[in-house]
Structure 1
Amino acid sequence: MSKSNDKTIKTNALRILDAKKIPHEAHTYEAPGGFLDGVSVAKATGMDVHRVFKTLVTQGASREYYVCVIPVAEELDLKKAAKHFGEKKIEMIHAKDITKVTGYIKGGCSPVGMKKPYPTAIHQSAADFENIVVSGGKVGLQMDLPLSALCELTGAVLADLTVKA
C-alpha cells in the first residue's frame, strides 16, 4: 500500500495514511541546517515543482486558524485567503507558534494529522494532478498521495490562494 525509501520513518501523518489504507509514497531528503525551502525540496527529491505543495498556517481577525496548501514556488495571497475563509483579514502565524498550533515544526508541517482539524484550502492548481506532494510531518520527509484523499482527510476544498505573477 505505501512505498517508502526509508522503512523506519513513521510520523503522525504517515501513521494516519497507513491506518486509513491510503496509498502513498514517502520521500526523504537531506536538509543541512534543518530547513530547506520548498523549491529546493522539490529539486532534492526529483519532483515536479508544480506538484510539490507547502503548508502554511494562518490566523484570521477572529483568532481562528486556517491552513493553506499552495505550490512551493508560489506566494500566498493573504487577501484571497481571507476572502475564502470569510475573514476580514488573515495573517501568517509566527514561526515560533507553529508547534503549539499544529504539533509540527517549521519546515515539517503536514496538513495531515495536526493537533486539531483546522479549515483547510488547497490551491486550485492541485486539480491538475491526481497526486500531490506535501510534508510528511518532519523536516526531510515528503509524502506523495492522491489529492482526493488529502481533501477527504483534511476537509480541504480547492481555492485560488496565490499571488498572480
Structure 2
Amino acid sequence: MQLTNAARQLKQRNIPFTFHTYVVDPSDVSASHVAASMGKPVDQLYKTICLESEQKRHAFFLISGDRDIDLKAAAKAWGVKKVTPVPMKELEALTGYIRGGVSPIGAKKAFPVFLHDSAKEKATIIISAGKRGAQLELTPDDLLRFTNGRWFTQ
C-alpha cells in the first residue's frame, strides 16, 4: 500500500513512525476489530473523533479504542459549552476522510487536536493513517508536537 498523505507529512518532518496495514472489513470499522486485525491491543489504538462546538468550530479528539468519548469532558478541555460529534454524512466534506479512516494529520483543514491522557502511559500509540486499512504508530509526544495538540482528561 502506498503511503498516505498523513504518513508523507510525518516523513517530510522527519518524525519517526511505523506504517501498518490491515485487511479492511467494510462492515466493521470499529477500533476493536481494527486492533484485532493488526494483532495489537485495542487500548494502543486511538480513534479520532471529529467534534463540533456550538459555534460550529471543529476539533479532533483521540481516545483509546477501548473507551467512549465523554462529550462534557471534551467540551471542558476545549473551553466550549457543548460539543457534538460531526454527523457521518458531513465528515468527508469537512475533513477529507471517511469514518474508519479519520486522521488528525493531513485533514483538509488543521483543527485543534486533543489526545486523551491515557496515552501518556504508552511508548507508542496507533492512529489512522487517513484511510481504511492503514495505521500509523508513533509516540504520543511526537503526535502532539506535530499537531500542536494538547492532552485532555475525562
TM-score (norm 2): 0.95
Aligned residues: CA RMSD: 1.2
- CA deviations 1:70-115 (Å, max 9, x no partner) are 0011100000111111111100000111111111111101111111
Identify the residue that residue 47 of structure 1 maps to in structure 2. 40
Q: Report deviation, 1:29.
A: 1.0
TM superposition shift of 1:34: 6.0
Instruction: Give the whole-Å Cα distance in 2 for the aligned partners of 1:154 and 1:35.
Output: 28
Q: In structure 2, which of residues 12, 18, 29 is the aligned counterpart of residue 36 of structure 1?
A: 29
**Distance apart, 1:35 and its partner CA:** 4.5
Give the alignment of 1:55-94 within 5 angstroms: 55-94=48-87
Q: How many residues are paired up?
A: 154
Structure 2 residue runs of 5 or longer lacking an equivalent are none
Q: Where does structure 1 differ by over 2 angstroms across 4 or more consecutive aligned residues? A: 32-35
Deviation at residue 32 of structure 1 after TM alignment: 2.3
Mapped partners of 2:34, 2:44: distance in 1:
12
Which runs of 5 or more structure 1 residues have no equivalent in the other structure?
A: 1-7
Separation in structure 1 between the aligned mates of residue 26 and residue 137 of structure 2, nearest angstrom? 24
| Percentage of matched positions with identical amino acids | 33
Work out the CA distance in 2 between the residues paired with 1:150 and 1:80.
21
Instruction: List per-residue Cα deviations over 1:54-83 (Å, max 9, x = no partner).
Output: 000000011100110000111000001111
1:125 to 103, 113, 118: 118
1:113 aligned to 2:106?
yes
Alignment correspondent of 2:15: 22
CA contact (8 A) 1:57 1:66 kept: yes
8 Å CA contact 1:35–1:139 kept in 2: the answer is no
| Aligned counterpart for 1:12 among listed residues 5, 30, 38 | 5
